[in-house]
Chain A
Protein backbone atom coordinates (compact mmCIF):
# COMPACT_ATOMS: atom_id res chain seq x y z
CA UNK A 1 0.00 0.00 0.00
CA UNK A 2 1.35 3.38 -0.83
CA UNK A 3 1.88 5.94 1.83
CA UNK A 4 -0.59 8.71 2.38
CA UNK A 5 2.10 10.99 3.72
CA UNK A 6 5.78 11.03 2.98
CA UNK A 7 8.06 13.52 4.65
CA UNK A 8 11.68 13.71 3.55
CA UNK A 9 14.44 15.83 4.92
CA UNK A 10 12.08 18.32 6.51
CA UNK A 11 13.81 21.28 8.05
CA UNK A 12 12.57 24.51 9.57
CA UNK A 13 14.33 27.32 11.34
CA UNK A 14 12.90 30.25 13.18
CA UNK A 15 14.43 33.54 14.00
CA UNK A 16 13.65 34.58 17.52
CA UNK A 17 14.55 37.55 19.61
CA UNK A 18 16.36 36.23 22.64
CA UNK A 19 15.93 37.76 26.06
CA UNK A 20 18.65 40.33 25.66
CA UNK A 21 17.48 41.53 22.28
CA UNK A 22 19.83 39.64 20.00
CA UNK A 23 18.27 37.66 17.20
CA UNK A 24 19.09 34.00 17.13
CA UNK A 25 18.15 31.18 14.82
CA UNK A 26 16.44 28.21 16.38
CA UNK A 27 16.22 24.97 14.49
CA UNK A 28 12.72 23.75 15.17
CA UNK A 29 12.79 20.78 12.81
CA UNK A 30 16.17 19.36 11.98
CA UNK A 31 15.87 17.21 8.88
CA UNK A 32 13.34 14.49 9.61
CA UNK A 33 11.85 11.70 7.51
CA UNK A 34 8.76 9.66 8.16
CA UNK A 35 5.73 8.21 6.45
CA UNK A 36 2.12 7.59 7.30
CA UNK A 37 0.71 4.52 5.56
CA UNK A 38 -2.72 4.54 3.98
CA UNK A 39 -5.35 4.22 6.69
CA UNK A 40 -2.57 4.19 9.25
CA UNK A 41 -2.31 6.00 12.54
CA UNK A 42 1.01 7.54 13.42
CA UNK A 43 1.74 9.56 16.52
CA UNK A 44 4.46 12.10 17.06
CA UNK A 45 5.27 12.61 20.72
CA UNK A 46 7.55 15.05 22.36
CA UNK A 47 7.74 17.84 24.84
CA UNK A 48 7.58 21.53 24.14
CA UNK A 49 10.29 22.63 21.76
CA UNK A 50 10.56 19.18 20.23
CA UNK A 51 9.32 20.39 16.86
CA UNK A 52 6.27 18.14 16.70
CA UNK A 53 3.76 20.95 16.31
CA UNK A 54 5.88 22.73 13.74
CA UNK A 55 6.09 19.51 11.76
CA UNK A 56 2.32 19.13 11.88
CA UNK A 57 1.78 22.71 10.78
CA UNK A 58 4.15 22.32 7.86
CA UNK A 59 2.36 19.18 6.72
CA UNK A 60 -0.95 21.00 7.07
CA UNK A 61 0.36 23.90 5.06
CA UNK A 62 0.13 26.54 7.75
CA UNK A 63 3.89 26.99 7.80
CA UNK A 64 6.41 26.84 5.01
CA UNK A 65 9.29 24.43 5.32
CA UNK A 66 12.82 25.70 5.05
CA UNK A 67 13.91 22.58 3.23
CA UNK A 68 12.64 19.12 2.47
CA UNK A 69 9.64 17.52 0.81
CA UNK A 70 6.14 16.80 1.92
CA UNK A 71 4.21 14.45 -0.32
CA UNK A 72 0.58 13.59 0.18
CA UNK A 73 -0.55 10.64 -1.90
CA UNK A 74 2.50 11.14 -4.03
CA UNK A 75 1.83 14.78 -4.79
CA UNK A 76 3.84 17.70 -3.54
CA UNK A 77 2.07 19.45 -0.77
CA UNK A 78 3.59 22.83 -1.36
CA UNK A 79 1.50 23.80 -4.34
CA UNK A 80 2.30 27.27 -5.52
CA UNK A 81 -0.73 27.49 -7.78
CA UNK A 82 -3.50 29.73 -6.62
CA UNK A 83 -7.10 29.47 -7.44
CA UNK A 84 -10.08 27.54 -6.30
CA UNK A 85 -9.21 24.15 -7.73
CA UNK A 86 -5.83 24.20 -6.10
CA UNK A 87 -7.24 25.23 -2.75
CA UNK A 88 -9.82 22.52 -2.89
CA UNK A 89 -7.29 19.88 -3.79
CA UNK A 90 -5.04 20.89 -0.91
CA UNK A 91 -7.93 20.85 1.54
CA UNK A 92 -8.81 17.35 0.46
CA UNK A 93 -5.31 16.18 1.16
CA UNK A 94 -4.86 17.23 4.75
CA UNK A 95 -7.20 18.45 7.47
CA UNK A 96 -6.44 19.36 11.06
CA UNK A 97 -8.12 19.47 14.44
CA UNK A 98 -6.58 22.00 16.78
CA UNK A 99 -5.82 21.91 20.46
CA UNK A 100 -7.92 24.80 21.67
CA UNK A 101 -11.62 23.97 21.65
CA UNK A 102 -12.46 27.53 22.51
CA UNK A 103 -11.05 29.27 19.51
CA UNK A 104 -11.10 26.73 16.74
CA UNK A 105 -14.69 27.45 15.78
CA UNK A 106 -16.11 30.72 14.52
CA UNK A 107 -18.06 31.99 17.54
CA UNK A 108 -20.81 33.40 15.33
CA UNK A 109 -21.56 30.30 13.36
CA UNK A 110 -23.96 27.57 14.32
CA UNK A 111 -22.75 24.00 14.13
CA UNK A 112 -24.89 23.33 11.08
CA UNK A 113 -23.65 26.44 9.28
CA UNK A 114 -20.05 25.60 10.05
CA UNK A 115 -20.22 22.15 8.53
CA UNK A 116 -22.45 23.24 5.65
CA UNK A 117 -20.01 25.97 4.68
CA UNK A 118 -17.28 23.42 4.16
CA UNK A 119 -19.63 21.22 2.17
CA UNK A 120 -20.65 24.10 -0.01
CA UNK A 121 -17.06 24.89 -0.83
CA UNK A 122 -16.21 21.39 -1.89
CA UNK A 123 -19.29 19.63 -3.17
CA UNK A 124 -22.04 20.52 -5.57
CA UNK A 125 -24.99 19.63 -3.44
CA UNK A 126 -28.33 21.29 -3.31
CA UNK A 127 -29.25 23.00 -0.09
CA UNK A 128 -31.34 20.14 1.19
CA UNK A 129 -28.71 17.52 0.42
CA UNK A 130 -26.13 19.69 2.08
CA UNK A 131 -28.19 20.01 5.24
CA UNK A 132 -28.75 16.29 5.25
CA UNK A 133 -25.07 15.55 4.87
CA UNK A 134 -24.22 18.04 7.60
CA UNK A 135 -26.68 16.29 9.87
CA UNK A 136 -25.09 12.93 9.10
CA UNK A 137 -21.62 14.20 9.86
CA UNK A 138 -22.71 15.77 13.11
CA UNK A 139 -24.39 12.54 14.19
CA UNK A 140 -21.40 10.52 13.23
CA UNK A 141 -19.28 12.43 15.72
CA UNK A 142 -21.75 11.69 18.46
CA UNK A 143 -23.78 14.88 18.58
CA UNK A 144 -27.44 15.11 17.78
CA UNK A 145 -30.14 17.32 16.30
CA UNK A 146 -30.35 19.76 19.15
CA UNK A 147 -26.69 20.64 18.74
CA UNK A 148 -27.08 21.67 15.12
CA UNK A 149 -28.45 25.12 15.82
CA UNK A 150 -26.16 25.88 18.74
CA UNK A 151 -23.23 28.22 18.66
CA UNK A 152 -19.85 27.35 20.17
CA UNK A 153 -20.52 29.29 23.37
CA UNK A 154 -23.39 26.91 24.08
CA UNK A 155 -21.25 23.82 23.68
CA UNK A 156 -18.79 22.22 26.04
CA UNK A 157 -15.14 21.66 25.17
CA UNK A 158 -15.68 18.04 24.20
CA UNK A 159 -18.65 18.95 22.03
CA UNK A 160 -16.65 21.63 20.27
CA UNK A 161 -13.89 19.22 19.45
CA UNK A 162 -16.47 16.87 18.00
CA UNK A 163 -17.70 19.69 15.78
CA UNK A 164 -14.13 20.40 14.74
CA UNK A 165 -13.73 16.74 13.84
CA UNK A 166 -16.97 16.79 11.86
CA UNK A 167 -15.87 19.86 9.97
CA UNK A 168 -12.55 18.26 9.11
CA UNK A 169 -14.16 15.05 7.94
CA UNK A 170 -16.67 16.92 5.80
CA UNK A 171 -13.97 17.44 3.22
CA UNK A 172 -13.21 13.69 3.15
CA UNK A 173 -9.50 14.20 3.63
CA UNK A 174 -6.81 11.65 3.06
CA UNK A 175 -4.97 12.61 6.20
CA UNK A 176 -6.34 14.02 9.43
CA UNK A 177 -3.89 15.70 11.78
CA UNK A 178 -4.90 15.94 15.41
CA UNK A 179 -2.66 18.50 17.08
CA UNK A 180 -3.02 17.89 20.81
CA UNK A 181 -6.69 17.61 20.05
CA UNK A 182 -7.64 16.06 23.40
CA UNK A 183 -5.08 17.76 25.63
CA UNK A 184 -7.41 20.50 26.76
CA UNK A 185 -10.26 18.17 27.67
CA UNK A 186 -11.22 16.68 30.99
CA UNK A 187 -10.17 13.07 31.46
CA UNK A 188 -13.66 11.62 31.22
CA UNK A 189 -14.39 13.62 28.10
CA UNK A 190 -11.03 12.78 26.61
CA UNK A 191 -11.95 9.12 26.87
CA UNK A 192 -15.12 9.73 24.89
CA UNK A 193 -13.31 11.56 22.14
CA UNK A 194 -10.55 8.95 21.95
CA UNK A 195 -13.13 6.23 21.58
CA UNK A 196 -14.81 8.29 18.88
CA UNK A 197 -11.56 8.63 16.99
CA UNK A 198 -10.94 4.90 17.21
CA UNK A 199 -14.42 4.26 15.87
CA UNK A 200 -13.97 6.72 13.01
CA UNK A 201 -10.79 4.96 12.02
CA UNK A 202 -12.71 1.75 11.68
CA UNK A 203 -15.51 3.31 9.69
CA UNK A 204 -13.68 5.65 7.38
CA UNK A 205 -10.76 5.53 5.04
CA UNK A 206 -8.61 8.23 6.56
CA UNK A 207 -5.11 8.20 7.96
CA UNK A 208 -4.34 9.86 11.28
CA UNK A 209 -1.35 11.84 12.35
CA UNK A 210 -1.60 12.38 16.06
CA UNK A 211 0.51 14.98 17.82
CA UNK A 212 0.68 14.69 21.57
CA UNK A 213 2.80 15.15 24.62
CA UNK A 214 0.76 12.50 26.44
CA UNK A 215 2.20 9.05 25.94
CA UNK A 216 -0.74 7.19 27.42
CA UNK A 217 -3.12 8.86 25.01
CA UNK A 218 -0.81 8.05 22.15
CA UNK A 219 -0.99 4.39 22.94
CA UNK A 220 -4.76 4.56 22.61
CA UNK A 221 -4.83 6.03 19.18
CA UNK A 222 -1.78 5.09 17.17
CA UNK A 223 -0.05 2.08 15.73
CA UNK A 224 3.27 3.71 15.10
CA UNK A 225 5.02 6.22 17.26
CA UNK A 226 7.78 8.73 16.60
CA UNK A 227 9.53 10.41 19.48
CA UNK A 228 10.87 13.88 18.76
CA UNK A 229 13.39 15.79 20.77
CA UNK A 230 14.95 19.09 19.80
CA UNK A 231 13.84 18.81 16.21
CA UNK A 232 14.94 15.24 15.58
CA UNK A 233 13.23 11.89 15.63
CA UNK A 234 15.19 10.01 18.24
CA UNK A 235 13.13 6.85 18.35
CA UNK A 236 10.45 5.27 16.26
CA UNK A 237 8.56 2.05 15.92
CA UNK A 238 5.27 0.33 16.68
CA UNK A 239 3.68 2.23 19.55
CA UNK A 240 3.60 -0.69 21.92
CA UNK A 241 7.27 -1.42 21.35
CA UNK A 242 8.35 2.15 21.84
CA UNK A 243 6.32 2.55 25.00
CA UNK A 244 7.02 -0.84 26.54
CA UNK A 245 10.63 -1.22 25.57
CA UNK A 246 12.16 2.16 24.83
CA UNK A 247 15.71 2.19 23.58
CA UNK A 248 16.62 5.82 23.67
CA UNK A 249 17.50 7.34 27.06
CA UNK A 250 15.30 10.35 26.38
CA UNK A 251 12.30 8.14 25.66
CA UNK A 252 12.99 6.26 28.84
CA UNK A 253 13.19 9.51 30.72
CA UNK A 254 9.86 10.59 29.28
CA UNK A 255 8.17 7.38 30.26
CA UNK A 256 9.65 7.43 33.71
CA UNK A 257 8.18 10.86 34.32
CA UNK A 258 4.57 9.86 33.73
CA UNK A 259 2.49 9.67 36.89
CA UNK A 260 0.97 6.25 37.31
CA UNK A 261 0.15 3.76 40.03
CA UNK A 262 3.08 3.31 42.34
CA UNK A 263 5.02 6.22 40.86
CA UNK A 264 6.86 8.80 42.88
CA UNK A 265 8.46 11.92 41.39
CA UNK A 266 12.22 11.86 41.54
CA UNK A 267 14.75 14.45 40.65
CA UNK A 268 16.82 12.95 37.92
CA UNK A 269 20.03 14.02 36.33
CA UNK A 270 20.03 13.71 32.62
CA UNK A 271 18.92 15.34 29.45
CA UNK A 272 15.74 16.81 30.82
CA UNK A 273 14.65 20.38 30.75
CA UNK A 274 16.26 21.56 33.90
CA UNK A 275 14.70 24.84 32.98
CA UNK A 276 17.99 26.37 32.00
CA UNK A 277 17.13 29.19 29.72
CA UNK A 278 20.11 31.49 29.86
Chain B
Protein backbone atom coordinates (compact mmCIF):
# COMPACT_ATOMS: atom_id res chain seq x y z
CA UNK B 1 0.00 0.00 0.00
CA UNK B 2 2.88 2.34 -0.36
CA UNK B 3 2.28 5.43 -2.36
CA UNK B 4 5.86 6.57 -2.26
CA UNK B 5 8.09 6.63 -5.28
CA UNK B 6 10.71 3.97 -4.94
CA UNK B 7 13.46 6.20 -6.09
CA UNK B 8 13.61 9.78 -4.96
CA UNK B 9 14.58 12.46 -7.43
CA UNK B 10 17.98 13.53 -6.22
CA UNK B 11 19.01 16.93 -5.07
CA UNK B 12 21.93 18.45 -6.93
CA UNK B 13 21.01 17.84 -10.51
CA UNK B 14 24.20 19.21 -11.99
CA UNK B 15 26.22 16.88 -14.16
CA UNK B 16 29.41 17.08 -12.13
CA UNK B 17 27.62 16.65 -8.84
CA UNK B 18 25.83 13.62 -10.14
CA UNK B 19 29.04 12.12 -11.50
CA UNK B 20 30.84 12.57 -8.22
CA UNK B 21 28.00 11.05 -6.26
CA UNK B 22 27.81 8.17 -8.67
CA UNK B 23 31.50 7.55 -8.24
CA UNK B 24 31.33 7.68 -4.48
CA UNK B 25 28.40 5.33 -4.28
CA UNK B 26 29.70 3.06 -6.99
CA UNK B 27 30.60 -0.51 -6.53
CA UNK B 28 34.39 -0.27 -6.32
CA UNK B 29 34.88 -3.92 -7.09
CA UNK B 30 32.81 -3.57 -10.18
CA UNK B 31 34.81 -0.62 -11.40
CA UNK B 32 38.13 -2.32 -10.78
CA UNK B 33 37.14 -5.56 -12.42
CA UNK B 34 35.59 -3.71 -15.35
CA UNK B 35 38.83 -1.79 -15.75
CA UNK B 36 40.92 -4.95 -15.73
CA UNK B 37 38.61 -6.66 -18.21
CA UNK B 38 38.74 -3.64 -20.45
CA UNK B 39 42.50 -3.63 -20.27
CA UNK B 40 42.71 -7.27 -21.23
CA UNK B 41 40.35 -6.78 -24.16
CA UNK B 42 42.45 -3.83 -25.25
CA UNK B 43 45.56 -5.98 -25.13
CA UNK B 44 43.78 -8.57 -27.23
CA UNK B 45 43.03 -5.94 -29.83
CA UNK B 46 46.36 -4.16 -30.02
CA UNK B 47 48.58 -6.99 -28.82
CA UNK B 48 50.48 -7.65 -32.01
CA UNK B 49 51.36 -3.98 -32.33
CA UNK B 50 52.74 -3.46 -28.88
CA UNK B 51 54.67 -6.69 -28.60
CA UNK B 52 58.35 -5.80 -28.24
CA UNK B 53 59.64 -8.87 -30.06
CA UNK B 54 58.37 -11.35 -32.55
CA UNK B 55 56.13 -13.93 -31.00
CA UNK B 56 57.05 -16.71 -33.33
CA UNK B 57 60.73 -16.40 -33.98
CA UNK B 58 63.21 -16.97 -31.31
CA UNK B 59 66.90 -17.46 -30.96
CA UNK B 60 67.62 -20.89 -29.68
CA UNK B 61 70.63 -19.53 -27.93
CA UNK B 62 68.44 -17.35 -25.75
CA UNK B 63 66.24 -20.17 -24.61
CA UNK B 64 64.75 -20.23 -21.12
CA UNK B 65 66.12 -16.91 -20.01
CA UNK B 66 64.99 -15.46 -16.71
CA UNK B 67 62.91 -12.29 -16.75
CA UNK B 68 65.09 -9.31 -17.51
CA UNK B 69 64.96 -5.86 -19.02
CA UNK B 70 64.97 -7.15 -22.57
CA UNK B 71 62.56 -9.94 -21.84
CA UNK B 72 60.25 -8.91 -18.97
CA UNK B 73 58.68 -12.36 -18.80
CA UNK B 74 61.77 -14.24 -19.89
CA UNK B 75 61.98 -16.56 -22.91
CA UNK B 76 60.60 -19.97 -23.62
CA UNK B 77 62.39 -23.14 -24.62
CA UNK B 78 62.64 -22.00 -28.23
CA UNK B 79 64.01 -18.61 -27.32
CA UNK B 80 60.83 -16.70 -28.03
CA UNK B 81 59.95 -13.68 -25.89
CA UNK B 82 57.18 -14.76 -23.54
CA UNK B 83 55.72 -11.30 -23.10
CA UNK B 84 55.30 -10.95 -26.82
CA UNK B 85 53.75 -14.37 -27.06
CA UNK B 86 51.33 -13.53 -24.30
CA UNK B 87 50.37 -10.23 -25.91
CA UNK B 88 49.90 -11.67 -29.36
CA UNK B 89 48.22 -14.74 -27.97
CA UNK B 90 45.60 -12.72 -26.15
CA UNK B 91 43.52 -12.45 -29.28
CA UNK B 92 43.39 -16.13 -29.92
CA UNK B 93 42.84 -16.89 -26.26
CA UNK B 94 39.89 -14.55 -25.94
CA UNK B 95 38.16 -14.95 -29.26
CA UNK B 96 37.28 -18.56 -28.55
CA UNK B 97 35.43 -17.88 -25.31
CA UNK B 98 33.82 -14.83 -26.88
CA UNK B 99 32.37 -16.92 -29.67
CA UNK B 100 31.24 -19.59 -27.26
CA UNK B 101 29.46 -17.08 -25.08
CA UNK B 102 27.94 -15.28 -28.01
CA UNK B 103 26.56 -18.49 -29.42
CA UNK B 104 25.23 -19.92 -26.18
CA UNK B 105 23.69 -16.58 -25.21
CA UNK B 106 21.87 -16.18 -28.47
CA UNK B 107 20.76 -19.79 -28.54
CA UNK B 108 19.94 -20.01 -24.85
CA UNK B 109 18.06 -16.71 -24.73
CA UNK B 110 16.02 -17.53 -27.80
CA UNK B 111 15.06 -20.92 -26.43
CA UNK B 112 14.32 -19.48 -23.02
CA UNK B 113 12.18 -16.55 -24.07
CA UNK B 114 10.35 -18.62 -26.64
CA UNK B 115 9.77 -21.26 -24.04
CA UNK B 116 8.55 -18.75 -21.47
CA UNK B 117 6.29 -17.01 -23.92
CA UNK B 118 4.58 -19.99 -25.48
CA UNK B 119 4.49 -22.15 -22.42
CA UNK B 120 2.63 -25.43 -22.59
CA UNK B 121 4.05 -28.12 -24.85
CA UNK B 122 6.73 -25.84 -26.28
CA UNK B 123 8.03 -25.20 -22.81
CA UNK B 124 7.95 -28.87 -21.93
CA UNK B 125 9.79 -29.89 -25.09
CA UNK B 126 12.48 -27.28 -24.61
CA UNK B 127 12.87 -28.37 -21.01
CA UNK B 128 13.48 -31.94 -22.10
CA UNK B 129 16.05 -30.88 -24.64
CA UNK B 130 17.83 -28.79 -22.06
CA UNK B 131 17.78 -31.66 -19.60
CA UNK B 132 19.61 -33.80 -22.13
CA UNK B 133 22.15 -31.08 -22.85
CA UNK B 134 22.77 -30.61 -19.13
CA UNK B 135 23.85 -34.20 -18.93
CA UNK B 136 26.91 -33.61 -21.09
CA UNK B 137 29.94 -32.43 -19.16
CA UNK B 138 31.25 -29.57 -21.27
CA UNK B 139 34.82 -30.70 -21.47
CA UNK B 140 34.08 -34.27 -22.42
CA UNK B 141 31.64 -33.09 -25.02
CA UNK B 142 34.38 -30.95 -26.51
CA UNK B 143 36.76 -33.88 -26.59
CA UNK B 144 34.09 -35.94 -28.31
CA UNK B 145 33.63 -33.16 -30.88
CA UNK B 146 37.35 -33.08 -31.55
CA UNK B 147 37.38 -36.84 -31.98
CA UNK B 148 34.66 -36.55 -34.58
CA UNK B 149 35.60 -33.32 -36.31
CA UNK B 150 39.31 -33.14 -35.80
CA UNK B 151 41.40 -30.88 -33.63
CA UNK B 152 41.66 -27.18 -34.12
CA UNK B 153 39.80 -24.07 -33.20
CA UNK B 154 36.25 -24.73 -34.32
CA UNK B 155 35.34 -28.13 -32.95
CA UNK B 156 35.86 -27.20 -29.28
CA UNK B 157 34.18 -23.84 -29.74
CA UNK B 158 31.13 -25.42 -31.33
CA UNK B 159 30.94 -28.12 -28.68
CA UNK B 160 31.22 -25.70 -25.78
CA UNK B 161 28.63 -23.42 -27.32
CA UNK B 162 26.17 -26.26 -27.24
CA UNK B 163 27.20 -27.48 -23.80
CA UNK B 164 26.85 -24.01 -22.23
CA UNK B 165 23.47 -23.27 -23.76
CA UNK B 166 21.32 -25.02 -21.15
CA UNK B 167 22.89 -23.05 -18.29
CA UNK B 168 22.07 -19.76 -19.89
CA UNK B 169 18.67 -20.98 -20.98
CA UNK B 170 17.66 -22.12 -17.54
CA UNK B 171 18.47 -18.84 -15.87
CA UNK B 172 16.89 -16.72 -18.55
CA UNK B 173 13.79 -18.86 -18.68
CA UNK B 174 12.95 -18.55 -15.02
CA UNK B 175 13.37 -14.80 -15.21
CA UNK B 176 11.41 -14.57 -18.41
CA UNK B 177 8.57 -16.59 -16.94
CA UNK B 178 8.41 -14.27 -13.97
CA UNK B 179 8.33 -11.18 -16.17
CA UNK B 180 5.82 -12.68 -18.52
CA UNK B 181 3.31 -13.13 -15.74
CA UNK B 182 3.46 -9.52 -14.67
CA UNK B 183 0.53 -7.25 -15.52
CA UNK B 184 2.54 -5.06 -17.84
CA UNK B 185 2.98 -7.93 -20.24
CA UNK B 186 -0.75 -8.51 -20.18
CA UNK B 187 -1.20 -4.82 -20.81
CA UNK B 188 1.07 -5.10 -23.85
CA UNK B 189 -1.02 -7.95 -25.18
CA UNK B 190 -4.14 -5.90 -24.65
CA UNK B 191 -2.55 -3.00 -26.46
CA UNK B 192 -2.32 -5.23 -29.48
CA UNK B 193 1.41 -5.71 -29.63
CA UNK B 194 2.67 -8.76 -31.45
CA UNK B 195 4.35 -11.55 -29.51
CA UNK B 196 7.59 -10.67 -31.23
CA UNK B 197 7.37 -7.07 -30.13
CA UNK B 198 6.57 -7.94 -26.54
CA UNK B 199 9.39 -10.45 -26.30
CA UNK B 200 11.98 -8.29 -28.01
CA UNK B 201 11.06 -4.84 -26.76
CA UNK B 202 9.79 -5.67 -23.28
CA UNK B 203 10.80 -9.10 -22.01
CA UNK B 204 14.33 -9.07 -23.35
CA UNK B 205 15.37 -5.64 -22.01
CA UNK B 206 14.09 -6.58 -18.59
CA UNK B 207 16.06 -9.80 -18.41
CA UNK B 208 19.05 -8.41 -20.26
CA UNK B 209 21.05 -7.29 -17.21
CA UNK B 210 21.05 -10.81 -15.83
CA UNK B 211 21.93 -12.23 -19.22
CA UNK B 212 24.89 -9.89 -19.38
CA UNK B 213 26.01 -10.85 -15.90
CA UNK B 214 25.75 -14.55 -16.63
CA UNK B 215 27.52 -14.19 -19.96
CA UNK B 216 30.37 -12.40 -18.28
CA UNK B 217 30.72 -15.16 -15.72
CA UNK B 218 30.41 -17.77 -18.44
CA UNK B 219 33.22 -16.11 -20.36
CA UNK B 220 35.60 -17.05 -17.61
CA UNK B 221 34.41 -20.63 -17.61
CA UNK B 222 34.72 -20.90 -21.38
CA UNK B 223 38.21 -19.50 -21.24
CA UNK B 224 39.26 -22.13 -18.74
CA UNK B 225 37.60 -24.93 -20.69
CA UNK B 226 39.16 -23.89 -23.99
CA UNK B 227 42.56 -23.44 -22.38
CA UNK B 228 42.24 -26.93 -20.93
CA UNK B 229 41.43 -28.31 -24.35
CA UNK B 230 44.40 -26.58 -25.86
CA UNK B 231 46.52 -27.83 -23.01
CA UNK B 232 45.48 -31.34 -23.90
CA UNK B 233 46.58 -30.69 -27.43
CA UNK B 234 43.10 -30.99 -28.82
CA UNK B 235 42.50 -27.38 -29.68
CA UNK B 236 44.64 -24.99 -31.60
CA UNK B 237 47.96 -26.47 -32.49
CA UNK B 238 51.53 -25.17 -32.11
CA UNK B 239 53.01 -22.79 -33.03
CA UNK B 240 49.87 -20.82 -32.07
CA UNK B 241 50.19 -18.45 -29.17
CA UNK B 242 47.08 -19.46 -27.31
CA UNK B 243 47.61 -19.29 -23.58
CA UNK B 244 46.45 -22.81 -22.80
CA UNK B 245 48.79 -24.11 -25.42
CA UNK B 246 51.59 -22.08 -23.90
CA UNK B 247 51.01 -23.74 -20.57
CA UNK B 248 51.36 -27.10 -22.30
CA UNK B 249 54.42 -25.93 -24.18
CA UNK B 250 56.00 -24.82 -20.97
CA UNK B 251 55.40 -28.05 -19.15
CA UNK B 252 58.76 -29.61 -19.81
CA UNK B 253 60.56 -26.38 -19.03
CA UNK B 254 58.57 -26.13 -15.80
CA UNK B 255 59.72 -29.55 -14.72
CA UNK B 256 63.28 -28.59 -15.53
CA UNK B 257 63.19 -25.55 -13.35
CA UNK B 258 62.16 -22.85 -15.82
CA UNK B 259 58.58 -21.96 -15.01
CA UNK B 260 58.42 -18.67 -16.93
CA UNK B 261 56.30 -19.74 -19.84
CA UNK B 262 53.79 -21.86 -17.97
CA UNK B 263 53.59 -19.30 -15.21
CA UNK B 264 53.05 -16.29 -17.45
CA UNK B 265 50.39 -17.95 -19.54
CA UNK B 266 48.74 -19.55 -16.53
CA UNK B 267 48.71 -16.27 -14.67
CA UNK B 268 47.09 -14.51 -17.63
CA UNK B 269 44.39 -17.13 -17.70
CA UNK B 270 43.74 -16.83 -13.99
CA UNK B 271 43.72 -13.03 -13.97
CA UNK B 272 41.38 -12.88 -16.91
CA UNK B 273 39.02 -15.45 -15.50
CA UNK B 274 38.93 -13.82 -12.07
CA UNK B 275 38.39 -10.36 -13.52
CA UNK B 276 35.52 -11.50 -15.68
CA UNK B 277 33.99 -13.58 -12.93
CA UNK B 278 34.08 -10.72 -10.46
CA UNK B 279 32.65 -8.34 -13.04
CA UNK B 280 29.86 -10.77 -13.78
CA UNK B 281 29.06 -11.28 -10.11
CA UNK B 282 28.96 -7.55 -9.44
CA UNK B 283 26.71 -7.01 -12.43
CA UNK B 284 24.39 -9.71 -11.15
CA UNK B 285 24.42 -8.23 -7.66
CA UNK B 286 23.21 -4.92 -9.04
CA UNK B 287 20.06 -6.54 -10.26
CA UNK B 288 19.10 -7.91 -6.91
CA UNK B 289 16.20 -6.00 -5.34
Q: So, do A and B actually touch in the complex, CB under 8 Å? A: yes
How many whole Å from A218's CB to the nearest CB in chain B? Answer: 20
Assembly CA distance A92 to B191 (angstroms) = 8
**Partner-contacting stretch, out of B1-9, B14-22, B95-103:** B1-9
Assembly CA distance A179 to B192 (angstroms) = 19
B202 at the interface (CB under 8 A from A): yes
How many whole Å from A189's CB to the nearest CB in chain B? Answer: 6
Is there an interface contact between A157 and B187, defined as CB atoms closer than 8 Å?
Answer: no
Is there an interface contact between A94 and B187, defined as CB atoms closer than 8 Å?
Answer: no
Q: Mark A73-110, 1 if CB is under 8 A from B, else 0.
A: 00000000000100110111011101110011111100
How many whole Å from A206's CB to the nearest CB in chain B? Answer: 15
Is there an interface contact between B190 and A95, defined as CB atoms closer than 8 Å?
Answer: yes
Q: In chain A, residues 98-137, which have Cβ atoms closer than 8 Å to a Cβ of chain B?
A: 98-100, 103-108, 117-118, 121-122
**Partner-contacting stretch, out of A20-28, A148-156, A235-243, A254-262:** A148-156
Q: Contact size class for A?
A: 35 or more
Q: In chain B, residues 179-214, which have Cβ atoms closer than 8 Å to a Cβ of chain A?
A: 182-184, 186-194, 197, 201-202, 205-206
A167 at the interface (CB under 8 A from B): yes
Assembly CA distance A70 to B6 (angstroms) = 39
Q: In chain A, residues 37-93, which have Cβ atoms closer than 8 Å to a Cβ of chain B?
A: 60-62, 84, 87-88, 90-92
How many whole Å from A145's CB to the nearest CB in chain B? Answer: 14
Q: Mark B161-188, 1 if CB is under 8 A from A, else 0.
A: 0000000000000000000001110111
A62 partner residues in chain B, CB cutoff 8 A: 186, 189-190
How many whole Å from A267's CB to the nearest CB in chain B? Answer: 27
Given contacts A104-B184, A106-B206, contact A61 B190 (CB under 8 A): yes
A159 partner residues in chain B, CB cutoff 8 A: 5
B192 partner residues in chain A, CB cutoff 8 A: 87-88, 90-92, 121-122, 171
Assembly CA distance A153 to B4 (angstroms) = 9
Given contacts A91-B190, A108-B206, A171-B191, contact A157 B7 (CB under 8 A): no
A277 at the interface (CB under 8 A from B): no
- Chain B: which residue is nearest A97 at the CB level? B187
A186 partner residues in chain B, CB cutoff 8 A: 1, 3
Q: How many residues of B are counted as interface, with CB atoms below 8 angstroms from the partner's CB atoms?
A: 25
A158 at the interface (CB under 8 A from B): yes
Is there an interface contact between B191 and A157, defined as CB atoms closer than 8 Å?
Answer: no
- Chain A: which residue is nearest B193 at the CB level? A121
A158 partner residues in chain B, CB cutoff 8 A: 3
Is there an interface contact between A96 and B7, defined as CB atoms closer than 8 Å?
Answer: no
Q: Mark A242-267, 1 if CB is under 8 A from B, else 0.
A: 00000000000000000000000000
- Chain A: which residue is nearest B185 at the CB level? A106
Assembly CA distance A46 to B4 (angstroms) = 29
- Chain A: which residue is nearest B201 at the CB level? A117
B206 partner residues in chain A, CB cutoff 8 A: 106-108
Given contacts A87-B194, A94-B190, A121-B193, contact A103 B182 (CB under 8 A): yes
Given contacts A62-B186, A103-B184, contact A157 B2 (CB under 8 A): yes
B183 partner residues in chain A, CB cutoff 8 A: 98-100, 103-104
Assembly CA distance A233 to B221 (angstroms) = 60
- Chain B: which residue is nearest A99 at the CB level? B183
Is there an interface contact between A118 and B191, defined as CB atoms closer than 8 Å?
Answer: yes
B205 partner residues in chain A, CB cutoff 8 A: 108
A108 partner residues in chain B, CB cutoff 8 A: 205-206
Assembly CA distance A155 to B8 (angstroms) = 9
Is there an interface contact between A121 and B191, defined as CB atoms closer than 8 Å?
Answer: yes
- Chain B: which residue is nearest A108 at the CB level? B205
Assembly CA distance A91 to B197 (angstroms) = 15
- Chain B: which residue is nearest A190 at the CB level? B3
A234 at the interface (CB under 8 A from B): no
A88 partner residues in chain B, CB cutoff 8 A: 192
The listed residue (B6, B9, B187) touching A98 by CB distance below 8 A is: B187
**Most chain A CB within a 10 A radius of its CB, from B3, B182, B193:** B3
Is there an interface contact between B3 and A189, defined as CB atoms closer than 8 Å?
Answer: yes
Assembly CA distance A156 to B5 (angstroms) = 4
Assembly CA distance A153 to B206 (angstroms) = 14
B9 partner residues in chain A, CB cutoff 8 A: 154
B182 partner residues in chain A, CB cutoff 8 A: 103-104
Interface pairs A-B: 5 shortest CB-CB: A91-B192, A104-B183, A87-B192, A98-B183, A103-B182
